[in-house]
Amino acid sequence: MAMTIERLDNDDQERDIRVVIGKNVLFKLQLKPSPFHNNSEVRKLIGKDLVKRENFEKLKELVKLNKKIKEIISLLKNRKDQIKNIIAGSKGQRDDEFREFIVQMEKKGNLNNWEQFVMASNQMGEIEKFFDLTLISKKYFCFCNSCHSLIEEGGIEVPTDCVICKNKITRNSNVYYNFLTDEIEKYLDGDWLSDYIAKAFIGKEWKVWTNSYVMGNSGIPHEVDLLAINRKGFTLVGECKTGTISRKDVFTFSTKCSDISNTYACFFTAEKLPEPTTREFMDKTGLKYFENIHTKTEENFFLEIFEDIPV
């Protein structure tokens, strides 16, 4: 069946795409920006067997550690501002004693947070080595060597002294730690799965688009994780989830597919579906599902996909 693709350029995420199959089926897509298209290290990651349990868990842990680092930094910033306000209000002798007490308490709390921060950063570096890729960025942080307060983030100038304990700050206080950019964190937190599954269809010479908006019959654009079309014009829409699935996720996907005509719907999830009634709903409405995919090998998983798709 003839298929026409207008303005197809996966490297230009701003462009709209029109896909015409035969005479009657028309898809209008708008591609979203993705690290997959502008980061070669991300593409190398997708080339690995990411449904292998060890790889899958390492990827989840990398994102978890990055979120922990951001939480610690936010906590240290808030605590520093609070302590600065307390110290600024100290005038008399008793206030000075109270100020010293607060600083000492702050040292204990900051030390614990600082140690967790360093540990998380080092663990992120180990995971990056495990994948043999460069996914992590480096960011400058300046900590006080005495009270472990966060002095500065992202700067290059070294402050003269700590605003909390008045300790002199040296250049040794400046350290570059590991972190993921917001874009990479979001991608590794689940968006990667659609590009990973796309490999199976690309290997069978399907035309594939990931992370796009597809115009429904209602005129409303729907966010679609995976759209794949083979040479015969058979069209598949896929939903790809790495986290916990709720019944609402399944019902929303079903509604979305109803508005995008002439498509075969597949739900791919790394976890189990929430309960038997959800499976029953999908069976009765014709939604194909693949669950617990992180317990499979890539080879077996990709074979399973094409064993169950009626083409």
- Locate the domains of the chain by residue range: 3-31+185-308, 53-180
**pLDDT confidence of residue 1:** 53
**The pLDDT value given to residue 116:** 86
Inter-residue contact 236 to 309 (CB < 8 Å): yes
Supply the pLDDT for residue 148.
Answer: 76
Residue 118: predicted pLDDT: 86
Residue 9 has a pLDDT of 47
Give counts: helices (H), strands (E), the chain.
9, 11
- Listed as ranges, residues in the chain with pLDDT below 50 are 8-14, 92-94, 98
Contacts of 175 (CB under 8 A, 6+ apart): 140, 141, 142, 143
User: What per-residue confidence (pLDDT) applies to 14?
Assistant: 47
pLDDT of 117 reads: 87
pLDDT of 228: 92
- Whether domain 3-31+185-308 has CATH 3.30.70.600: the reply is no
Q: Give residue 236's pLDDT.
A: 92
Cβ atoms of 164 and 45 closer than 8 Å: no
Please give the C-alpha separations between residue 307 and each of 115, 263, 269, 278, in angstroms, as whole numbers: 50, 18, 17, 22
Q: Encode pLDDT of 9-47 as tens digits.
A: 444 444 677 777 666 666 777 888 889 988 999 999 999
Please report the pLDDT score of residue 218 as a whole number.
Answer: 87
Q: Which residues pair with 36 in a beta bridge?
A: none
**Residue-level pLDDT at 285:** 85
Q: CA 250, CA 206: separation in Å to the nearest integer?
A: 25
Helical (H) or strand (E) element with 37: helix 35-38
pTM score: 0.82
User: Which pLDDT value is given to residue 23?
Assistant: 62
- pLDDT reported for residue 217: 85
